[in-house]
Amino acid sequence: MRILILGGDGFCGWPTSLHLSACGHEVGIVDNFARRNADVELEAQSLTPISPLGVRLETWRRLTGREIGFWRIDVAGAYHELLALLSEYRPDAVVHFAEQRAAPYSMKSAAHKRYTVDNNVNATHNLLCALVQGGLDCHVVHLGTMGVYGYGAAGAAPLPEGYLTVRMDGADGSEVEQEILYPASPGSVYHMTKTLDQLLFAFYNRNDEIRVTDLHQGIVWGTQTRETHQHERLINRFDYDGDYGTVLNRFLMQAAIGHPLTVHGTGGQTRAFIHIQDSVRAIQLAIEHPPQHGERVRIFNQMTETHRVIDLAHIVKKLTGADIDLVDNPRNEAPANDLAADNHQLLDLGLQPITLEDDLLTEITDIAQRYKDRCDPDKIPCTSRWITATRATAQSPAASIAAPA
């Protein structure tokens, strides 16, 4: 198949591009280097030494003989360039990663909130508009997030894959049943943009029959895939900073440099996880099993296991001897939650999950230990606050809003 990867230089986009290329698909990358530019802005960088995209692509070509094309286009800003490329390339599938993807980054300031909404909504909408305007029959595979669901109604069944069957009172007193998009309950501006995306997809699917698979992904852990592992110049990003680092990566790096594991609040939050290798495989499965024409938006929960944050900390502590430090939670969220979710659709397509147990030690030794000298400990604290200092103080005079030391 011919596949375009929007955001193909990022943490999920790069290993996905290589994996699909290795599978024999014709792959092209579109990226505006927004993620590398955020490194410059935040004065943070990947723990792993990532190569420039040109070097990455040339290394892959020499190793495998496979060419991956590249177009530097801002999907949210340069509509006509995007339309021209889509019309020329005529992809069978577009994988859409071209969104700002960090919750703390999206909450840093008004400017970051506005950038996240403007970029993410316009990127998704430009893609959908361009497919309609170009008259292209192309499957859109989008990275959503488990965070669109919130954590469900108290006592409700495990989170379904996108759609929920509900019953309501009918006009004549009888009961009416309907299947609806799961009610949105996003926990940050970033997560909110993915709930906006869902409504964009639903509309263009219904009005223009655009075929869409929306992958509600859990927190990705792990760094390398079979392909990125083949040469150091292909290595994937590993973010540990307070904005872009996800919880497990941050624990691993903290352990490697002897920093206590910073658990927000009580660590009672339960989250869904998936290994990056499973993530790229799931995207391949979604692409190779597209929805039918006229089928509604297909939604998969792209996650393989759930863990409480404090339990993860204890697993890492056990493997590394690190201390655990409970710090104020910068997020505006429940101190603890349960989480169970259905994920049978990807398992039915053949996904065989890599569990934390299988691969955590590799991450510790091959990534965190190996590159620990590149770490800047000043970048560890999460400095974004979900609610402003004024209001946090007004709510609870005793609440400390200082960053963890």
Q: Which residues form the catalytic set?
A: 145, 190, 194
**Cα(279)–Cα(247) distance, integer angstroms:** 17
Question: Of the listed pieces 17-25, 47-55, 203-211, 314-322, which binds a second copy according to CB under 8 A?
Answer: 203-211
Instruction: Name residues contacting a second copy, limited to 73-92 (CB under 8 A).
Output: 79, 83
> CB atoms < 10 A from the CB of 332, how many?
14
Give the one residue of 54, 88, 154, 352 binding a second copy; rule: CB under 8 A. Answer: 154
* Per rule CB under 8 A, count of chain residues that contact a second copy: 58
Tell me which amino acid residue 47 is.
Answer: L
**Cα(123)–Cα(128) distance, integer angstroms:** 9
Q: Which residues of 200-223 are buried (b: 16+ CB within 10 A; e: fewer)?
A: bbeebbeeeebbbbbbbbbbbbbb
Tell me which amino acid residue 68 is.
Answer: I
The DSSP letter of residue 336 is B
Is residue 397 part of the contact set for a second copy (CB under 8 A)? no
Closest CB to a second copy among 293 and 318?
293
Is residue 155 part of the contact set for a second copy (CB under 8 A)? yes
Closest CB to a second copy among 101 and 108?
108
Question: Of the listed pieces 132-140, 224-232, 304-312, 344-352, which binds a second copy according to CB under 8 A?
Answer: 132-140
Tell me which residue of 241, 263, 390 sits closest to 322, measured CA to CA.
Answer: 263
The DSSP letter of residue 296 is P
Is residue 202 part of the contact set for a second copy (CB under 8 A)? yes
Is residue 336 part of the contact set for a second copy (CB under 8 A)? no
Is residue 189 part of the contact set for a second copy (CB under 8 A)? yes
Closest CB to a second copy among 172 and 357?
172
Question: Of the listed pieces 181-189, 222-230, 267-275, 299-307, which binds a second copy according to CB under 8 A?
Answer: 181-189
Q: In this structure, is the dihedral angle defined by the CA atoms of residues 372, 377, 379 and 382, taken in order, positive or negative?
A: positive
Give the one residue of 23, 78, 84, 117 binding a second copy; rule: CB under 8 A. Answer: 117
Instruction: Name residues contacting a second copy, limited to 265-304 (CB under 8 A).
Output: none
Is residue 170 part of the contact set for a second copy (CB under 8 A)? yes
**Cα(309)–Cα(318) distance, integer angstroms:** 14
Max CA-CA distance within the chain? 70
The DSSP letter of residue 267 is S
Give the one residue of 54, 65, 172, 321 binding a second copy; rule: CB under 8 A. Answer: 172
First to last CA, the chain: 51
Instruction: Name residues contacting a second copy, limited to 316-335 (CB under 8 A).
Output: 332
Tell me which amino acid residue 162 is.
Answer: G
The DSSP letter of residue 333 is S
Is residue 168 part of the contact set for a second copy (CB under 8 A)? yes
Tell me which residue of 1, 9, 80 sits closest to 236, measured CA to CA.
Answer: 9
Which residues in this chain contact a second copy in the complex, by CB under 8 A? Answer: 79, 83, 109-110, 113-114, 117-118, 121-122, 125-126, 129-130, 132-133, 135, 153-158, 164-172, 174, 176, 178, 180-181, 183-184, 186, 189, 192, 195-196, 199-200, 202-203, 207-209, 332, 340, 386-388, 390-391
